[in-house]
Structure 1
Amino acid sequence: MQVTETLKDGLKRSYTITVPAADLDAKVNEKLVEAQPEVEMKGFRKGKVPMAILKKQFGERLMGDAMQDAIDGAMKEHFDATGDRPAMQPKVEMKDGEKWQKGDDVVVEMSYEALPEIPEVDLSKLKLEKLVVKADDAAVTEALDNIAKSAKNFEDRKKGSKAKDGDQVVIDFVGKIDGEAFEGGAGEDYPLELGSGSFIPGFEEQLVGAKAGEEVAVKVSFPEEYGAKHLAGKEAIFDCTVKAVKEPKAAEVNDELAKQFGAEDLEALKGQITERLEAEYTGAARQVMKRALLDQLDGMVKFDLPPSLVEAEANQIAHQIWHDEHPEEHGHNHGSIEPTDEHKSLAERRVRLGLLLAEIGRKENVEVTDSEMTQAVMMQARQYPGQERAFFEFVQKNPQMQQQLRAPIFEDKVVDLVVEGAKVTDKTVSKDDLQKAIEALDEI
């Protein structure tokens, strides 16, 4: 087997791999010898089929496997010998593949971009600020008020009062298209909170100003993307009878409210809120510190980047930003999206930092444990209620999805490791200051 270098330009590499025909034939024979004891064929005892017959029967089928094994082996030997690590899956093409015949040597062209040498970073030179925010009485009170609003009740308004946005109306309704009632379009004693957006767009607004005892004809159009295809895009009239108009009343902030939310009393609920708020502040402060850490690392290292990784990342950034700017477009039939210079610059930063963190993690033997992966899959599966098992099976069979879940866990573990080696000072700030720091992250 022979490996010949044909290109070495920066990180770009190309090689010609030649596998002699004799080696392939030996590989096929090796596979036949391995399989012979288990082969059964009419006219022969199990394991006693002559090699010549086996070769005639199975030789061509095994030749493809032999080629793949030989090429895979040559590539492994090459990477072991050179120390190269390909940035992406190497491109392997058989030279003159259509003309190849049994008895010919196999010649393939292998090309790839090698990962660059990553320079050492003195983590002790990193200086970071950790923002610390304590949950004050005002923040706890605000959270309690929000809890009370979420636990609100509705009480009848004074007779003759008009329904306002935020009120609850109790209605009977019948929906009709072209004068005919349709299945699933009727209800009785339905409590509808105006402004909740729980009904078809335009429905709730037409009940604002209605009084108990009134009948209102609500005219709406079902959205084009409505789930029930026989209703999508259709105009409908809902004959509504308003049976009651109720105003919201926030629950009282007391021990009873606390018990509704699983606390023994109001003081215990306040303690839980304080813990939750400070956990949220800690998470937000970590985001700010992580950005500062990445900014410093980005300024400390410079090395060549694999063009293919930068191009792929720039395309992904451009694609994601386009969809963020066009939320109405859910598919991918939007034609080509060309990355801008800004996208390419951001891609270079991400690739550089990604390679640096990966190298630090590799040298420090950072690994994502099975339990961490299981937890990540479980959290993701919650987005698909009733389909959790199917999602688990999808992840098990999809290495790309596994990598998508593993990558952020790995990065966070490396970041934590880097922070441990840096000089970190605490800085107490207000909740508003922390909020401004978080908002500033989106502006960069």
Structure 2
Amino acid sequence: MQVTETLNEGLKRGYTITVTAAELDAKVQEKLIEAQPEVEMKGFRKGKVPMAMLKKQFGPRLIGDAMQEAIDGAMKSHFEASGDRPAMQPEVKMVGGETWAEGQDVVVEMAYEALPEIPEIDASAITLERLLVKAEDAAVDEALANLAATATTFAAREAGEAAADGDQVVIDFKGSVDGDFFEGGTAEDYPLVLGSNSFIPGFEAQLVGAKAGDDVEVKVSFPAEYGAAHLAGKDALFACTVKEVKAPQAAQIDDELAKKYGAADLAALKAQIAERLEAEYKGASRAVMKRALLDQLDGLVSFDLPATLVDAEAAQIAHQLWHEENPEVHDHNHGAVETTDEHKTLAVRRVRLGLLLAEIGRKADVQVTDAEMTQAVLAQARQYPGQERQYFEFVQKNPQMQQQLRAPIFEDKVVDFIVAGANVSDKEVGKDDLQKAIEALDEM
């Protein structure tokens, strides 16, 4: 077997791999000898089939396997000997392809971009500031008020009082289009909060001013983009009977409210809220410090980047931004998205930092544990209530999805590793200052 270099230009590499006909035949022979003891054939005892007959019967099927094994072995030996690490899966192409015939040498062309040599960084040369924010009483009280708002109850208004925006009306309704009732358009004793925008636009406003016992005809038009195609854009009539009108009753901020949320008393609930707020502040502060770290790393190192990685990243960025600008498109059945210089500039930064963090993590032997992966899968599975098991099975069978879940965990652990060796000073700031720092990240 022979490996000959054909290209060595920057990070680009090219080789031809030649597997001689004799080597290929020897591999086929080796496979036949390995299989012979288990082969049964009419007229022969198990394991006693002559090699010539085995070769005639199974040889053509084994040539492909032998060819693949030989080429894979040559590539593995090459990477071990050269120390190259391909940036992406090498492009492998058989010379002669369809015209190759048994008895001929196999010649394969292999091309790839090698990962560059990545310089070492001195973490102690990095200076970072960690923002510390305490949960102030005003922030806790604001969170308590929001919590109380979600615990609002409704009490019946006096007889004859009209429904106002924010009230809850209990209604029976029947919806029809062109005089025909439609599936899903009928309900009884339905509690509807006026102004909640939970019904078709214009529906709730027509019930403002209604009283218990009133019959109200609500006329609306289904939106053109309504989920049910047979109703989209259609005019509809809902015959509504108002059975009750209820006014909102704000929840009292006291021990009883605390117990509704699983706390022993109001003081315990406040402590839980303060702890949650400080955890949120800590996460936001970490995001600010991480950006500062990445900015410094980006300025500390410079090395050649594989063009294939940069182009792939730029295309991914362009595609993601296109979908953010066109949120109504949920599939990928759209035309090609052109990459711009701005996309490429961002891609260069991402690829450079990605390679640097990966190399730091590799040398530091940073590992993502099974427990961490399980937590990541659990967190994602919660987004699919009732389908958690199916999601777990999907992840188990999908290496690409596993890598998508593993990558951010690995990156965060590498960031923590670098921060541990950097010069970090703590600075106490207020919630508003932290908020400004977070908003500044979006502007960059």
- The 3 A distance-change label for structure 1 pair 35 and 206 is farther
User: Could you list the per-position Cα deviations for residues 63-98 of structure 1 after superposition, in whole angstroms to 9, with x for gaps in the alignment?
Assistant: 111111011001101100111101110010111101
Give the CA deviation at 1:107: 0.6
The residue that corresponds to 1:217 in the other structure is 217
Cα deviations by residue, 1:226-271 (Å, 9 ceiling, x for unpaired): 5555545543221111222222222101111101100111111111
Partner Cα distance (1:173, 1:327) in 2: 33
CA distance in 2, matches of 1:256, 1:407: 44
- Give yes or no for the alignment of 1:13 onto 2:13: yes
Write the distance in 2 (CA, Å) between the matches of 1:346 and 1:211: 59
Report the AA paired with residue 295 of structure 1. D
Deviates more, 1:214-223 or 1:380-389: 214-223
Secondary structure of 2:247's counterpart equals strand
What is the alpha-carbon distance in structure 2 between the residues aligned to residue 168 and residue 13 of structure 1?
71
Q: What SS does structure 2 have at the residue aligned with 1:182?
A: strand
- Partners of 2:356 and 2:111 in 1: CA distance: 24
Listed as ranges, the gaps of 5+ residues in structure 2 are none
* 1:160 positional shift: 4.0
| Distance change (3 Å), C-alpha of 1:3 and 1:175 | same
Name the residue aligned to 2:186: 186
- Alpha carbons of 1:160 and 1:399: their partners in 2 closer, same or farther (altered >3 Å)? same
Task: Say whether residues 1:349 and 2:349 are aligned partners.
Answer: yes
Rounded Cα–Cα distance in structure 1 between residues aligned with 2:269 and 2:429: 25
Deviation at 1:423, TM superposition (A): 0.6
Residues 44-81 of structure 1: CA deviation (Å, up to 9, x unaligned): 21111111111111111111111110110011011001
Listed as ranges, the matches of 1:291-370 within 5 Å are: 291-370=291-370
Q: Secondary structure at the match of 1:330?
A: coil
1:390 and 1:435, CA in 2 relative to 1: closer, same or farther beyond 3 A? same
Aligned amino acid, residue 340 of structure 1: T
* Cα distance between partner residues in 2 of 1:319 and 1:102: 46
What is aligned with 1:439? 439
2:42 — aligned with what?
42
Separation (CA, whole Å) in 2 of partners of 1:235 and 1:82 = 72
Counterpart Cα distance in 1 of 2:226 and 2:317: 30
Q: Distance in 1 between matches of 2:188 and 2:273?
A: 39
1:139 correspondence with 2:139: yes
Offset from partner CA, 1:94-134 (integer Å, 9 cap, x none): 11101100001111111111111100000000100000000
1:95-134 to structure 2, matched below 5 A, reads: 95-134=95-134
Separation in 1, partners of 2:106, 2:53: 25
1:85 match: secondary structure: coil
Which stretch shows the higher mean deviation, 346-355 or 152-161?
152-161
Instruction: Report how many residues are paired.
Output: 444
Change (3 A) 1:129 1:46: same
Give the distance between the partners of 1:74 and 1:407, measured in 2 at CA. Answer: 30
In 1, the alpha carbon distance for the partners of 2:73 and 2:302 equals 34
1:48 aligns to what SS in structure 2?
Answer: coil
Structure 1 partner of 2:90:
90
> 1:381-436 deviations in whole A, cap 9, x for unaligned?
11111111111111111111111000000000000001000010000000010011
What is the match of residue 390 of structure 1? 390
Post-superposition offset of 1:371: 1.2
Partner residue in 2 for 1:415: 415
Letter in 2 for 1:356: L
For the structure 1 residues 205 and 48, does the alpha-carbon distance in structure 2 shift closer, same or farther, using more than 3 Å as the test? Answer: farther
In 2, Cα distance between the equivalents of 1:76 and 1:247?
A: 74
Shift of 1:336: 1.1
**Which runs of structure 2 are paired with 1:196-207 in the superposition (5 Å)?**
196-207=196-207
Structure 1 unmatched runs, 5+:
none
Code of the residue aligned with 2:210 in structure 1: it is: A
Q: Comparing 124-133 with 371-380, which one deviates more in the overlay?
A: 371-380
Rounded to whole Å, the distance in 1 between the matches of 2:70 and 2:246 is 78
SS at structure 1 position matched to 2:185: strand
Residue in structure 2 matched with residue 269 of structure 1 by the alignment: 269
Task: Give the Cα separation in 2 of the matches to 1:122 and 1:112.
Answer: 31
Q: Deviations over 1:286-310 (max 9, x none)?
A: 0000000000000000001111111
The secondary structure found in structure 1 opposite 2:328 is coil
Question: How far apart in 1 are the matches of 2:368 and 2:105?
Answer: 43
Which residue matches 2:61?
Answer: 61
CA deviation map 1:281-336 (0-9, x unaligned): 00000000000000000000000111111111111111111111111111222211
State the SS of the aligned residue for 1:92. strand
Offset of residue 211 of structure 1 = 3.1
- Asked whether 1:28 is paired with 2:28, we answer yes
RMSD of aligned alpha carbons = 1.5
Q: Distance in 2 between matches of 1:238 and 1:24?
A: 78
**Secondary structure of 1:216 counterpart:** strand
What residue number does 1:172 align with? 172
Secondary structure of the structure 2 residue equivalent to 1:110: strand
Q: Which runs of 4+ in 1 moved over 6 A?
A: none
| Inter-CA distance 98–253: structure 2 relative to 1 (3 Å threshold) | same
Separation in structure 1 between the aligned mates of residue 135 and residue 188 of structure 2, nearest angstrom = 45
Hey, what does 1:253 align to over in structure 2?
253
Q: CA deviation at 1:217?
A: 2.1
Distance in structure 1 (CA, Å) of the matches to 2:189 and 2:182: 19
Cα displacement (A) at 1:163: 3.0
The corresponding residue for 2:375 is 375
**Cα distance in 1 between the residues matched to 2:213 and 2:110:** 80
What's the counterpart of residue 243 of structure 1? Answer: 243
